Amino acid sequence: MMVKDKAYKEHFIFSDLDSYIDFYSSLAFSVMGFATMGTTAVVNMDTYLYSSIQGTVESIKLVLEKGRINDSYCLLRKYYDSAIINTYSNLYIKENFSAEKFFVAQINNWLHGKEQLPEYRVMSQYLRNSDRLGGINACLYSDDRYKRIRVRCNDHTHYNYFYHVMINDNEVYLNNRLSSLDHLAEDLRDIFILHLSYIFSLHQHYMMSSDYVDHLDCGMQPPKDSQYWVAPFIQKVFDEIIKKNRPDIASCISENTSMHLVTDHA
C-alpha cells in the first residue's frame, strides 16, 4: 500500500499535527483558572472546547495514518466549525455581558443543553461583522483561502467528485496522494492560525505564562509586569507558525496586545 511508503509515513503533516495536539493540550490546562463570565460554568468552558479540539486533531492524525485522506477532510470541517463556535461563544459573551445582563442567556443555555447555537453561516457572519475583530478579519480575509478551504471540506464530505472516493481508498495507487497531503497540511495550518488569531484577539490574557500566579501561590511578590509575560508554548507557535507563515497576522496581534510577545529574536 502506498500509505506504507516512507514518503507518506514521514510526511511533515504528522509532525505538524503533533504540534497542534500539544498546543491545545497546553492551552486547555493553562486557561482552566480563568472564569467564563456571563455563565454559570464552574470551570472555564474553553478548557473543554480546547480539549475537544485536541481530540479532533488527534482523530485526524489517526485517520491519516490509515491513509483515509477523504475522511480526514470531514474531520477538518469539524475542526473548522469548532474554531468558529469557540470564537462566536466568546465574542457573543463579550458583546452581551454587563452588570445588568450578568448571565448571557444564549451561551449559558447552550452550556446546559437548553438551546442550540445559531447555524454555522450565522455565527461566521457575526464574526465577520464584528468591530472588535475588524483588524484581524482584514488580515484573515485578505484573500479567499478560507472560502476555498470550506469548499474543499464540503467537496470531500459530500463526495462531490469521484476523486474524493478514490483518495479514501488506501489500497489504490494515486500519483497525487502526497500532493493531497500537502494541501491538507496547508488547510490545517490556516485553520489553526485563524483560531489562534481569534483567541489572542479576544482573550489576550490567555497568552499569560504561569509565573505571576506561581509567585502568588508561593506567597511571593510577583515580578513587575509578570502578568504580561507570555507562556513559552504560546511564544513558540507565534514564532514557528504564525510569524513564519502569516507575518501580517503576527504584526496585527503584536500591535494590539499588552502582552509581551517577542517579535524580534535578533
Q: What is the pLDDT of residues 3-27, one digit of tens each?
A: 778 999 999 999 999 999 999 999 9
Confidence category of residue 143, pLDDT binned at 50, 70, 90: very high
Range 45-51 average pLDDT: 97
**Tens digits of residue pLDDT in 101-111:** 789 999 999 99
pLDDT at 127 over 70: yes
List the chain domain ranges: 2-206+233-252
- More confidently predicted of 43 and 194: 194
Range 143-153 average pLDDT: 97
Looking at residue 72, its pLDDT comes to 97
pTM: 0.94
Range 197-201 average pLDDT: 97
Looking at residue 5, its pLDDT comes to 87
Looking at residue 70, its pLDDT comes to 96
pLDDT at 163 over 80: yes
C-beta separation of 31 from 46 below 8 A: yes
Looking at residue 266, its pLDDT comes to 45
Looking at residue 2, its pLDDT comes to 67
